[in-house]
Chains A and B, each alone.
Chain A
Amino acid sequence: MNKSIYVALKWVLIVVALVFVFWLAAQLAMQGAWLAVTLTAFVGLCILLIYSTKRAVPMKYLFPGILALLGLQIWPMLLTISIAFTNYGNGHLGTQEEARNQIVANSVQEVPGSPRYKASVAVKSGQPKATGPLKLLLTSPEGKTYVGDPKEGLSELPEGDVTKSTIGKITAAKGYDVLNAREINARGKDLGELAVPTDDGGGIKMVGLSEAFVGKATVTYDAAKDTLYSEVTKKTYAPKNAFYTATDGSGDTFSQGWRENVGLANFKTIFTDPTFRSGFFKIFVWNVVFALGTVLLTFILGMLIALLFNHPRLKGKGIYRSLLILPYAIPAFVTALLWKGMFNQDYGLINQTLHLGTDWLGNPWAAKAAVLITNLWLGFPYMFLVCTGALQSIPGDVQEAARIDGANAMQTLRKITMPLLLVAVGPLLIASYGFNFNNFSLIYLLTEGGPFTGGNATIGDTDLLITLAYRLAFSGANPSYGLASAVSIVIFALVAIMSLPGFRATKALEEIN
């Protein structure tokens, strides 16, 4: 009887999972993402096959992990590689067709006497109002309600899903968050470029805060030649470098570009662009110095403290150890931000106590020192702990034998203790190097890669490769996912080359049983 409860539970779980998968597939189908629908259906089929039968027992245990691995580790990896060969980024987010529709819709000018819609601005529920893609919620003069998307155009909103004000403006709609006047103002720039294409080649644009006009496009598309013609500038524009560029040689372009394959261009930029070529090498050298310096400093300090306390007759070791691991127990972001405060030039604890005027975070060399000092404080307890563990596992009789053979304390340390210690903690040192090579949060929270000296806004003096990639993708003036992904791949190549010897030496590879 007991068993049947579990069987029932199993089937309830399978059904719940399948219902979720089905619902997900339906959602995806509504968006027209057919590849994703196929994948989802496949996952659903796998769930049914694996968990409903008595076969494939190992798969029952491995399936969740495999799903996580494929979806969240392998897929991002492959996507990174594919993005690295494109110009994906700010101004190059969509397809060429989307960019073209945008340009045409954007060029609309109001025809005198044409009808005006009541309009409000919204984002899809769940999207941030400050950055999410904008939609227009429109009420036609006849009172019909629509949602307008700059890519997909107009689609009807069911009457029951919207709440309208007395003048007919939509104030709330199911599935959308309406922006208030202040939030609309903050998105002014995006809104200026927002135009909803209509079926007849025109477009809808906002005027003011609550109205939109339907206008006629001044730019026309010639599908046969793949060119655009503007009645305003009287120029013809043809695709060039993922932009529609004027054919008269003036170099005029429309700001809406599209995403396209650029081959090795991103890698070429990294290795030949003057800013990058020198900067990349500089960052790489500092990156290695930072990782190596951190490992050496933390290891030496941690080992010295471990040797200090590695004495059988010393009292209070437990208290010492509990207090010494506190820096390691504090979350890393607190450590970085705390030291950032302590390194403040004018009011920070360091300068106040030592009566210095050092611009810790503004001087290239001082900033490097500050980063290393902070990481030493953060990391030495770990080395102290692992060295203590390793020292205690060294058998006492080896040291005793050395003493009997006439070795003094120093000789015992150098010839016996140290080699045994290094064997034990060696892999951990390599792992620590690997981790610190990409220690994003420390650098980013402490210095944000800066200071940026010599008028160079791309390459900071404490930048690691990973902080450079982050800035290229998310916080620069002109974010480029493609370039950032290319930098990521170069980092991966460097890390792989550096860690292969260590990896091959790892015994574990031979000992799988």
Chain B
Amino acid sequence: MSIPGTGAPAPVPVTPDAPQQLTESRAGGAGGGSMWWRHALGILALVWALFPIMFLLSAALNPSGQLNSSSLFPTDFSMANFQSLSQDPGRPYWTWYKNSLVICLSGALLSMFIASLAAYAFSRLRFAGRRPGLLALLLLQLFPAVLALVAMYITFSRIGDVLPAFGLNTTMGLILAYMGGAMGSNVWLLKGYFDTIPKEMDEAAIVDGASHARIFFTMTLRLVGPILVTVFMLGFVGLFSEFMLASVFLTDVDQQTLGVGLWGLSRGIDANQRFGFFAAGSLLCSLPVMILYLAFQKQLVGGLTQGSVK
């Protein structure tokens, strides 16, 4: 639950070559005379897509660090805003960064693990309740996770009374809360991919005397590597952007994630004076996700088109 990237199911079975649909198409050939208007409109689209990013960059480099002196193009070049990130104990940017990374990495890894265990059972094993189980998973997605926020808050406040390490305002508590999304549409995505791996391989391994655990951990998990990467990425990016649960759970400034911290920054009366801090911080926290996107474009696009939206 509450992983925005996996909020809605559009369960289309994935095939291993799905991402390749998006590879560069067909023959090159010389650019004809009719191409110039496509480029002109294309550049217009780029201007629309990039001007806010340009503004963010320019504001981050703006030495005065205020909103009113920030412009679309940098007029001056200064690292003052980046240095200010580590100077204000009331706004511990690098602590937020660390919290975000810890929560998103462990949350994405754990939910990927839980989901692939379940997907393996649904794809490879036959048992009573298999079909209803798959259907139930799909139907449960009808209830948007965000709606249970109040209940989650109350539940974790109670957990905190008994186990303070897993209560509200803790990293572990938030990671645990995010596990509710582990069994979402990811199971369908994974199962679809697991199905494409020939069963004969399992059977051969069984004949060779391998146990089910050995088959799963040493063979199947390796064969489904690409989809694991996709699911991990989707989970990471989704958790990185998650704001609602984090904002309710994390009240101490030292426990907050980047989203909650930067939001707090934008609410104060001095928000406009701190725009440079915000811009520098935003730029640095967008970079890892942008790099992930560009590096894993094909896997992500393949995964995105198979069933989740932002």
Residues in chain A within 8 A of chain B (CB atoms):
6, 24, 27-28, 31, 33, 36, 57-58, 60-62, 64-65, 68-69, 71-77, 79-80, 83, 88, 124-128, 130-131, 305, 308-309, 311-318, 320-335, 337-342, 344, 346-349, 352-353, 377-382, 385-386, 388-389, 392-393, 427-428, 430-432, 434-435, 438, 440-441, 444-445, 466, 469-470, 473-474, 481, 484-485, 488-489, 491-492, 495-496, 499, 503, 506, 508-509, 511-513
Contact = CB atoms under 8 A, between A and B. Distances in A.
B309 A428 contact: yes
B310 A382 contact: yes
A491 B10 contact: no
A80 B142 contact: no
Interface stretch (B77-85, B87-95, B221-229, B293-301): B293-301
B106 to A, nearest CB: 14
Given A36-B162, A353-B72, 7 more contacts: A58-B121, A61-B118, A76-B155, A88-B154, A124-B164, A435-B4, A438-B7
Nearest to B148: A76
Given A73-B183, A481-B154, A124 B161 contact: yes
B46 interface: yes
Interface string B267-310: 00000100100110010011001101110010001001101111
B167 interface: yes
Given A393-B21, A431-B308, A337 B8 contact: no
Interface in B34-83: 35, 38-39, 41-42, 45-46, 48-50, 52-53, 55-56, 59, 66-68, 70-72
Given A327-B52, A331-B289, A68 B182 contact: yes
Contacts of B26: 312
Contacts of A382: 304, 309-310
A446 B70 CA distance: 19
B46 A324 contact: yes
Nearest to A295: B309
A135 B80 CA distance: 44
Nearest to A425: B305
Contact of A435 (B41, B120, B309): B309
A338 B56 contact: yes
Interface of B: 1, 4, 7-13, 21-22, 24-32, 35, 38-39, 41-42, 45-46, 48-50, 52-53, 55-56, 59, 66-68, 70-72, 113-115, 117-118, 120-121, 125, 127, 130-131, 133-135, 137-138, 140, 142-155, 160-165, 167-170, 176-177, 179-180, 182-183, 187-188, 195, 212-214, 216, 237, 240-244, 248, 251-252, 258-259, 262-263, 266, 272, 275, 278-279, 282, 285-286, 289-290, 292-294, 297, 301, 304-305, 307-310
Contacts of B161: 31, 124
Given A65-B187, A308-B38, A337-B263, A322 B155 contact: no
Interface centre among B4, B292, B297, B309 (most CB of A within 10 A): B309
Interface centre among B9, B38, B153, B188 (most CB of A within 10 A): B38
B67 A127 contact: no
Interface centre among A309, A341, A379, A485 (most CB of B within 10 A): A341
A314 B179 CA distance: 45
Contacts of A488: 147-150
A495 B304 contact: no
Contacts of A334: 56, 262, 282, 285-286
Contacts of A470: 149, 244
B138 A73 contact: no
A503 B286 contact: no
Given A65-B183, A131-B251, A313-B32, A31 B162 contact: yes
A100 to B, nearest CB: 21
A191 B134 CA distance: 51
A314 B290 contact: no
Contacts of B70: 347, 349
A305 B71 CA distance: 28
A402 to B, nearest CB: 18
Contacts of A346: 68
Given A124-B164, A430-B10, A492-B144, A485 B150 contact: yes
Given A378-B310, A434-B8, A344 B272 contact: yes
A327 B150 CA distance: 31
A318 B24 contact: yes
Contact of B48 (A344, A353, A377, A431): A377
Given A314-B35, A337-B266, A386-B304, A72 B180 contact: yes
Contacts of B46: 320, 323-324
Nearest to B32: A313
Contact of A389 (B21, B52, B167, B214): B21
A330 B289 contact: yes
Nearest to A331: B241
Contact of A385 (B10, B22, B53): B22
Nearest to A79: B151
A34 to B, nearest CB: 13
B152 A76 contact: yes
B42 A309 contact: yes
Contact of B169 (A72, A127, A348): A127
A54 B180 CA distance: 28
A235 B310 CA distance: 59
Interface centre among B49, B150, B285 (most CB of A within 10 A): B150
Nearest to B30: A313
5 contacts: A73-B183, A79-B148, A312-B26, A315-B35, A495-B144
Contacts of B28: 312-313, 315
Contact of B154 (A79, A338, A348, A441): A79
A508 B12 CA distance: 7
B297 A440 contact: no
Contact of A33 (B10, B162, B309): B162
Contacts of B53: 326-327, 330
Given A330-B290, A342-B55, A385-B22, A126 B160 contact: yes
